[in-house]
A and B are shown apart, each in its own frame.
Chain A
Amino acid sequence: MSAGRWTMSSNWAILLAIQLLLLACDGGGAGPVADATATDAVAGDAGSGPLARNPVTRRLWVLDTVKFTRQDPVGIAPGWNLDGKVSDEKDDASCGKPDFKSPAGVDGIDNQFAVLVPIIEKTGIAAFESLLQASVESGGVLLMVELEGIDDLRNDPEVKVTIRAGQGVPLLGTDGKVLTGQTFHVNKRDPATPCGKGALKDGVVDIGPFDIDLPIQVFGKEYTLEMRTGHVRFHVIDAQRIDGGLVGGGITLSSIGKIAKTAAEDQGNIDDIVQSLTGGMGDLAKDATGTCTQLSAVLSFSGVSAFFYPYEITQTTKN
């Protein structure tokens, strides 16, 4: 396999990851069955310390780890029931793609990308996930989740969730991870994508569904990513950390195809690779021709506290 093919395939995976993470909401379809117990986050201490004494109204966390989710063991994968159905191989609506069961035992989890991940790994491009993490640590993928209207970081009947894009090079700690508490510029092109409101229950917020048509830029190329019935969930450990994060939804195969075609202008074989990997993998949104037009996917993440520079600083800074 050529180095170019390896790199572009990995880039494609990163694009997919970004698509999953950058979510904008304009309402959604039928409400899914949430698997609120799927995260394995450790109970935190958001109820003590300064947060308990002085409620804050807004908190921002930058994602410091991003990973693709897998089935483990076979048939078990995290995510949401995006289409409200429990599908098996015989389900025509999901194009014969069986759903998963969540780690907590919830049926109907849509996460077809979990099937794709080991296939990608077997093709010899397993390092794509390392590349994704490296992009997080170098600022290439600088994504934040923001909570507004917080009265209590453990239990709050209504908080507003926004996914935000930042700009800048993260300071890394002695462990090589993005440090807590640092400041970034707002990404001027994609400043904010509000996701809606929901409740914080025992530190866990779960928001969705929402759709996104988001332009992103990777290695100087601009792409438009489409995701439908998106969801995001994370656990607020404390003011410094979120963990057990999941973000998922249905990625339109048409947008993946367009991305592959755009990328192929520079890297000839990327189109073929993407088509071979995703062709026939759709499991959502079957159209009139009988084709499932979306691929369900779920990423996991964690985050650490972050801030944005004051507006006027960012405005005078090129990014």
Chain B
Amino acid sequence: MILHPYSPIVARPAPRRRGLVAVARGFSHREPTATAALFSVILGLTACEKPDPPVAAPAALQPAPATLPRLTRALYDNTIRDVLGPDLALPATLEPDVAFEHLLTVGSAVAKVSPRGVELYEEAARSLAAQVAGKPERLAKLLPCTPTGAGDAPCLRQFVQTVGEQLWRRPLTDGEVTAIAALGGKAGATLGTFAQSAEFALAALLQAPAFVYRPEHGEADPKHPGGKRLNAVELAAKLAYFLWNGPPDAALRAAAADKTLHDAKVLAGQVSRMLSDPKAHRAVRGFASEWLQLQEVLKLNKDPKVYKHFSSDLGGSAKEETLRLVEFLVFDKDGDFRELLTTRSTFVDRRLAAIYEVPANQELGHAAVQLPTDNERRGLLGQVSFLALAAHPVSSSPTLRGAFVRRHLLCDHVPDPPANLNTAIPEPSPDAKTLRQRLTAHMNVPGCSSCHKALDPIGFAFERFDGIGRFRTKDNGEPIDSSGELDGVPFANLDGFAAAIANSPKFYKCLTRKLYAYAVARPTTDGEASQIAQLAETFAKSGMRVQVLLRAIATSDGFARIATEAK
């Protein structure tokens, strides 16, 4: 098949970040250079000592430049399922997602597509199109007309128009329809069936940049003369990918087509409708997966000699537990989301229940349970998804756990250790039997101390949970001290730590920033600081209700406006 090829598209560089840290991070995530490497080493030694110098953020929103995010794997799969049908065999491999600022969706705006990635998109397109065309009932569901024969060009055009609009999240131009229908028609004429015409046309639609990427060209913004905003079609697509993790439906496309979507009432109505749709659960799960690094949980690898409760399916169980809890708090309870850190409610299957030493409530799948009050386990930070992920294959790790909390829950910058730094901690000795004691000794090593002092006192809160998340009271035969401090707030154990972090304004501000970045699908800029602060305030005033935050982000200026020109 000959299709017009597209070149791998390199997104625009990420917007300017603050200070030296931003420079080094920007380099290290894209084009490693000797200079960037040097920065990394310097920062690795010093960056944990003090935060970025304060930079006066603009008081009003300065819209960020438009970017060109690629569909993440989750968005790709959901779009295929929603448009072409839920029973298709999805491609085994596509260009892998790359995280930026720890979010895959943000990474989709800055990552390149490799030549092999282009091939994979083409192979996927061919496979999916063949599956659709190869099963008459599947194709019939997508056809807006009944073909009269192999050469029914008008029906093929209608097919390209209707399916193309759903896949590309915008109406196709006449020229686009003509080109793709012609390609399909030529294939059908050669091969002799309408289904093959449709197959080739569909393959073309699926490997076009308009499908693989989420372009945002914008239009003049009448509310902000001289400014730009997403056009209605682009706004519809952005809303859908944020609130549904999938493409816009007919109602949303209609609101875009009649140009009413920018009307505040129409927009609010659409957002409310979308949040009450079951697909909103999918979106919240998608965000939580990225925010809490749950894709990594699926790759858990533990030493079976050390952890008898480990199994190959544990990661999947743990991921589902966390997602169920997030869903429960956001949709069922619709209450204070900080309960994520403090609740004793969770959802476990039989295997997780065994690790938590609680009775399972059903034989298959996850079911709600209450964690007992006789140990410290509670909330997200008492779950296997966190405790096992932020740990080593053979042991717990206060450092990794502290880094996870700082990076993902507090939005603190934690550099990776420089490549040439010896990160080995002292072996157990009569004076330092527990991991805590060994790390305390390690904190005095020059080059290690600055970061370990910022991370380990947090990570000590979890030391009563081993590297797979089982509760314990002793380490190497010694009683475990799980006290520590969070930015000057002391705590006695995980109970106290969970309360401390839940009460820290950094937590809800960080969540707001993460969710906003996920929503706009690109790195945030200094010019958006006021917008994010305002959203965090709205979130706080609502009693930390995530549904309120989702609504506020979706209807915010920062979500819909774009800079007049890229900087």
Interface residues of A (CB under 8 A from B): 45, 48-51, 53-54, 56, 168, 171, 173-175, 177, 179-183, 185, 239-240, 305, 307-310, 313, 317
Contact = CB atoms under 8 A, between A and B. Distances in A.
A181 B357 contact: yes
B358 A307 contact: yes
A182 B374 contact: no
Interface string B352-370: 0111111111110000000
B374 A181 contact: no
Contacts of B356: 181
A180 B354 contact: yes
Contacts of A173: 308-309
A307 to B, nearest CB: 3
B476 interface: no
A307 B374 CA distance: 16
Given A54-B373, A171-B354, A183-B350, A308 B308 contact: no
A54 B354 CA distance: 20
B310 A307 contact: no
B304 interface: yes
Nearest to A174: B304
7 contacts: A171-B351, A173-B309, A174-B309, A174-B310, A307-B353, A307-B358, A309-B362
A49 B471 CA distance: 10
Interface in B293-307: 304-305, 307
A310 B363 CA distance: 11
Most buried by B among A56, A168, A182, A240: A182
B479 interface: yes
Contact of A309 (B309, B351, B360, B473): B360
A183 B357 contact: no
A317 B353 contact: no
Interface of B: 304-305, 307-311, 350-351, 353-363, 373-375, 471, 473-474, 479
Query: Looking at A45, A171, A181, which has the most chain B CB atoms within 10 Å of its CB?
Result: A181
B341 to A, nearest CB: 21
A51 B473 CA distance: 11
A240 B471 CA distance: 11
Contacts of A308: 359
B375 A48 contact: no
A177 B304 CA distance: 13
Contact of B361 (A56, A179, A180, A310): A310
A181 B354 contact: yes
A175 B308 CA distance: 6
B64 to A, nearest CB: 49
B355 A181 contact: yes
A179 B359 contact: no
B361 A49 contact: no
A317 B350 contact: no
B309 A49 contact: no
A309 B361 contact: yes
A255 B354 CA distance: 38
SS of B interface (majority): loop
Nearest to A51: B374
Contacts of B357: 180-181, 239-240, 305
A182 B308 contact: no
Nearest to A305: B357
Nearest to A50: B374
A48 B473 CA distance: 8
B309 A310 contact: no
B358 A179 contact: no
Contacts of B309: 173-174, 179-180
A70 B311 CA distance: 36
Chain A CB count within 10 A is highest, among B305, B374, B471, for: B374
Contact of A179 (B305, B308, B471): B308
A183 B357 CA distance: 9
Contacts of A54: 373-374
A307 B373 contact: no
A45 B471 CA distance: 14
Q: Which one of A48, A179, A305, A317 has the highest number of Cβ atoms from chain B below 10 Å of its Cβ?
A: A179
A50 B363 contact: no
Given A54-B373, A179-B354, A310 B359 contact: yes
Contact of A183 (B360, B373, B374): B360
B481 to A, nearest CB: 14
A309 B363 contact: yes
A307 B473 contact: no
Contacts of B305: 174
Contacts of B373: 54
A181 B361 contact: no
A285 B438 CA distance: 63
Given A54-B374, A182-B350, A183-B353, A174 B361 contact: no
Contacts of B308: 173-175, 177, 179
Given A50-B375, A317-B363, A181 B353 contact: yes
Contacts of A45: 473-474
Given A53-B374, A54-B374, A182 B363 contact: no
B354 A309 contact: no
Nearest to B471: A50
The list of the 10 closest CB pairs from A to B, nearest first, reads A173-B308, A174-B304, A307-B359, A54-B374, A49-B473, A183-B360, A181-B354, A182-B354, A181-B357, A50-B374
A168 B354 CA distance: 14
A305 B359 CA distance: 10
Contacts of B471: 50
Interface centre among B359, B474, B479 (most CB of A within 10 A): B359
B307 A174 contact: yes
B350 A56 contact: no
Contacts of A307: 353, 358-360
